[in-house]
Structures are given as structure tokens and as C-alpha cells.
Chain A
Amino acid sequence: MNINLNSPAPSGISLYALTALTLMLVSFQSLAEWSGDISFQNRYFLHDPLAQNPEQHNNYLSISSEIEYYNNFDSDDKSVTFTPFVRFDQYDKERSHGDIRELFYEQVYDGWELRLGISKVYWGVTESQHLVDVINQTDNVENTDGEDKLGQPMIKASFEKDWGVVDLFILAYFRERTFQDIEGRPRAFPVVDSNQANYESSDEEQHIDYALRWFQYFGDLELGLGYFNGTSREALFTPGNRNGQTVLTPYYPQMQQASLDAQLTTEEWLWKLEAIVRDWQNIDINTAQLIDESFFALTGGFEYTFVGVYESDADLGLVMEYLYDDRGIEATAIFQNDIMLGLRLAMNDADSSEALLGVIYDLDNQERLISLEASKRFAENWTGTLEVRGFNKIDRLSRLKGIEDDDFIQIDIAYYF
């Protein structure tokens, strides 16, 4: 469950529960394995905040920690995993948060396995965005790439057959997307007030979602088909009011989504495709009313790797993906007719030095999102990560309007134990 460290009573109780649970798990640690990290982060913004956001700052310090406890019984066939996460941010009260990324029991039977509890699941193959990955909610305050996920309560049964693997999911509680507080940066304008979330379903966050996935590989081809029926992880926004200030309030409609993901792996080439069809409600741009909508979106492309460039041990990968959404300018997604170009460098050295440079270019309005991620290991237990995000030529009618001056450089120094 999401624990907001700054809101009053309920979170306090959750934190006690978390501590109690931790102590309980420690008490039989003779069989257990503990591991984790503490990470120190500095995020520096190259420009002053926009005039509309006087609450924002130019430099943000934060510290985070994720710990994993794992214990197995009966020769690996039964196990318990517990992974709490916590971050404290210097200014952003919503980014200071805790989450149980995982707390589940898993049992492996002959030909199938069962997982009960809070867990994370990944679907998909592409690099630039993750259209088909729909089980877990995005922990949006963590980073701009959408790759950090909140723990999802679930019952998952996975069947391994000759004709593929079938995963069945019952998702027993909805996790709201996290949004930055007024001092957070980058963020939406006006600020999103998560406390005023609304739902299409009268069950609200208690709505039980279902999902189904089949995947199989045929030699060099990997194929996955997915289906999801439940509360949309993506939020829509309607204007609202908090203490006389205009805010955005999230609205979570019901959705049905079918998806396909495929990867063809040949020697130097990886060919990738993700496609979705979704039925849900959207807010009509002209009337501001909720309307039923169905749309199609895809991400497709390739990664070509030059192995051992210039007779070194390094590999250089060239990534190109096309991002499409058939709603065009009315898409709730940022990418509707965009090209991603990327360069991936893996030094294959003792320090695991690697870097990924990517540019996503909007073919309609020439917006450019620039991203650089580079990391290496120092000594045995430390790593350093550099991230740069740039928002270039943001269109004044764009959904990215408001973050055009939020280019930042972020350094993470992490200690692992």
C-alpha cells in the first residue's frame, strides 16, 4: 500500500504495521536473505522555474532505500518475498513516500505456480515507452520515464504448457498514480490533487480487475498476447478546487485493453513490436464531457548491435522506434506520431559501465525529449548513475506545456548491501 509520510493518521498506522511486519520477518532470519540499497540523489534544474510555479526550486536532494527480504522453504518450491521502499525528498511532500513494492507468497507446483500478495509484473519488449505493461501502477513521482512501479495486490496463477505460458491475474485493489506536490518538479500545471480522485466505477479503488496473458516463443520469435479488464492505470484530469486554488483532479475510468507484443531476435538485430487496442472513456476536447472512446496505439522498431566495436570489448547498439496513437492530437498519450532514436553503449568492463542516449522527436510539432542515462560501479558495493533529461521546443498547445524549462541533471550514488 502507498504510504504518504506526510499525511496524518492513517499512514502512521501503516508505518507501524510495516515496522511490525519487518520485525516479524527478522525474527526468523536464520533462513532468510536480506539485501538492498541506500541511494543519495541530487537533481539540478538548468533553468529557473516558470513564473506560474513560484513554489518550485532549482535543486532537490533526496534519499531513498529499497530492502528485499527473501525466504524459501521446501527446496525452493515455496517462498516469501518482502520489498519495502521509501524516499525522502527535500521539498516535494508527495515524492517523500513509502511503498510496499512486493509482499507475496509463492508456491511452485508441477507445471504451474501460484503467487498471492503484492507484486510487480512486467509485460513488453520496447524501450521508448511501455504500452502493454498494464498490471502495475506507475510511481510517477520517482522519475519521468514511467519505469518505477507501485506494488499491486494480486492473485496470479501461471501455467507452463507446451503451447506457451498462461498467466491469470485477479487484481484485488487499485493503486492510484502518484503525483508531485506543489513544490515538486517537473510536474503538471496546475498541481494534481490525488485526494480528490474520482472513478467511473462506484467500487472506486475497491474494484477488482482481471487480466490474462499468454506468451510463447517459436525459435527466434517471442510472442505475447494480453487482455486487461478493470480500472485504467492512466488518469484523466478534470479541473477542481483545493482551498480556493485551481487543481487537477484525477479521474480513473474503466477500460478493456487487448495487447500484442513480439520480438524477433536474429544475430545483430532485435525487431520489436507492441500494440494495444483500448476501450474506455475519455474527456472530449471540445465539450469537456466524458465520451466513450476506442483507440489503437503501437510502438515498433529495432535494435542493431555492433559487437566489439573498434576491436574493443564494447558493444554499441542503435535503437530506433516509431510511436503511434491513432487519436492524433486528441491522444491522452504524449507520443502519437514520434520517432525515438537511441544509442546504447555497454563497455563490458569490470565496472559494468554503460550508457543510453535517446531522443524522442515528435513528427507533428517537432518537440524533442532528450534523455541520457549512464552508470558504473565504484568499488564492490557502490554505483553512480547520471541522468539528464531535456525538453526541447515544447509546443504551446502540447500536453508537455509547463515543463519546457524543467531540463535537469540528476546524480544518484547508491550503496548496496
Chain B
Amino acid sequence: MKKNKFVKIIASSFLLLSSITTGYADDISKGLEIAKEADKRDTGFVDSTAKMKMILKNKQNQTNTREVKVKTLEVIGDGDKGLSIFNTPKDIKGTASLTYSHALKPDEQWLYLPALKRVKRISSKNKSGPFMGSEFAYEDISSQEVDKYTYKYIKDDVLDGINCFVVERYPAYKHSGYTRQIAWINQQEYRPEKIVFYDRKNTLLKTLTYTDYQQYLNKFWRADAMHMVNHQTGKSTTLSWKDYKFKTGLTDKDFNRNSLKRAK
């Protein structure tokens, strides 16, 4: 205990020192403010459904596709609830996953295997692992909560003619596959335009680009296409989204283990 306290004092004096010399604390609070504003602007969608098509491309340009139906229930003050139902590849048709995401404690996750009619609680530790063999990790596509990262504002930048805040963020989740991410946040709409990911060794790993944003209910922005390139393997994955619907009347009862079993 004594040692911890000592470390804290050292750490806080270091923070104090650096804030005096570089404005570090200001950058941290500005980074957090941007994240909070982005979160605020995406609050109130209540629920959504959409169809997602994943196109996996390897170095030889061979492609694999997956079609997934995604249902989301907004949970105010905690992570959202999500249900993903696989339509293709055909051999896993009907497989579905239910996730209760949380900001700080680990997500709760269940998988439904239709061949055995079995619901399996699965460990959420593999958040850094690939989602369905794609270049997206589970942590990339799970609900983005403010508390999942700490932040630091870096600079303003112009990306393809769009004024952006450049914010560095550090995963709070100890098993994250990343040391840091650099996000370009649209200054007008507070939506991400690009995110660059650095792996556990702090080496450039992936770049995610958001394109074809659409606005729903005059408020919520969703990108029709999300393109992830892995710089280390040369592989890439494109997510194309369609049929977005909001406030469809979904409730908690659509996100429990019984609904997981009958999800189609």
C-alpha cells in the first residue's frame, strides 16, 4: 500500500510537471472533451438494425464475404447490447452472438450454435482477436464507450478537405491488442473519419477509413463503408452497411438468451 501511494505521488508530480512544461493536462482534457462530445452527439438513437456485408481480401486479392444482421440496443450509462446474426458463409448460417458491452468491466458474451441448439457463454478476453477471420478485431466493432480509452488531443488537421481534430487514445482494457490509436475526428460532426492502430509493440498495424456517411433522424451519422487495411499482412476488410433503421421498438427482451436462440 505504502509503495502504491509513493508511486502515485511520483506519478502525479510527473503529471503536474509535464502539464507546466507542455500543456499535457490541457491536451488530455481536450481529448476527453472531444470524446465526450462525440458520445453525446450519438446518444439517443435508442435502437438500430442494419445489414452488414464483410468483404475479406488477402494479399493475392482473393475475397471472402460474410453477411451479418446487426441489432443494437442503446444502454444509457453503460455499454450497448448487441446481437449479430450470421447469414453467410452458409455453413454457419444462424450462428448468432449476443454481447452486453461494458465500459470498464469485461463484456459479457454468448454464442448460439444452431447445429447443436447450444448457447455457450464465451470468454470476452479475445477482444483483440479477429472478428470472423477479418481484419477487424472484436474490440474494433464493439460499442465505443468514452471510458474504454484515455485520450490526448494532438493537433488540428485537414483530411481530404475536412477539418479534423487529431486525438490519440489509449485502450483502458488491459488485454487490448493496441498500445494506441490515432483518430481523425470531424470537427463539424464529431464523427471519426480515420483511425490508425498501433500494435502491442507500438508498430503501425492497421488503418481504418470511414466513407459515405449518411445522417439518420437528422442526428446520427453512420458510415456506409468502413475500410480496414492491415499494413503488416497486406490483407484488408471492407464493411458495407445498408438498411439502417433506428427506433424500431427493440427492447431488452430482444437481447436475452431466448431471443439469441430464435434470432434469424
List residues of chain A with CB under 8 Å of any chain B CB.
33, 35, 37, 68, 70, 72, 76, 79, 106, 108, 110-111, 113, 120-122, 125, 147, 158, 160, 165, 217, 222, 263, 265-270, 305, 307-308, 313, 315, 348-352, 377, 380-381, 383, 414, 416-417
CB <8 Å contact, A350 and B56:
yes
CB <8 Å contact, B90 and A217:
no
CB <8 Å contact, A160 and B256:
yes
Interface of B (DSSP majority class): mixed
CB <8 Å contact, B257 and A307:
no
* List of B residues within 8 angstroms of A121 by Cβ: 117
A4 to B117, CA, bound (A): 25
Is B93 positioned at the interface, with any CB of A under 8 Å from its CB? yes
Nearest Cβ in chain B — how far from A25, in angstroms? 16
CB <8 Å contact, A315 and B126:
yes
CB <8 Å contact, A267 and B106:
yes
5 A-B pairs with the lowest CB-CB distances in the bound complex, closest first: A416-B90, A350-B133, A267-B125, A122-B117, A122-B118
Q: Which of B64, B116, B134, B253 contacts A380 (CB 8 A)?
A: B64
CB <8 Å contact, A307 and B133:
no
Q: Which of A72, A349, A381 contacts B264 (CB 8 A)?
A: A72
CB <8 Å contact, A268 and B89:
no
Residue of A nearest to B254 (CB): A76
A70 to B264, CA, bound (A): 9
* List of B residues within 8 angstroms of A79 by Cβ: 262, 264
Chain B 30-59: CB-based contact to A (< 8 A → 1; otherwise 0):
000000000000000000000000001010
Are A110 and B123 also in contact (CB < 8 A) when A35-B93, A416-B90 are?
no
Nearest Cβ in chain B — how far from A156, in angstroms? 11
* List of A residues within 8 angstroms of B256 by Cβ: 160, 165
* List of B residues within 8 angstroms of A160 by Cβ: 253, 256, 258
CB <8 Å contact, A266 and B64:
no
CB <8 Å contact, A147 and B65:
no
* List of B residues within 8 angstroms of A33 by Cβ: 264
A91 to B119, CA, bound (A): 36
Nearest Cβ in chain A — how far from B176, in angstroms? 12
Q: Which of B89, B93, B130 contacts A377 (CB 8 A)?
A: B89
Nearest Cβ in chain B — how far from A135, in angstroms? 10
Residue of A nearest to B56 (CB): A350
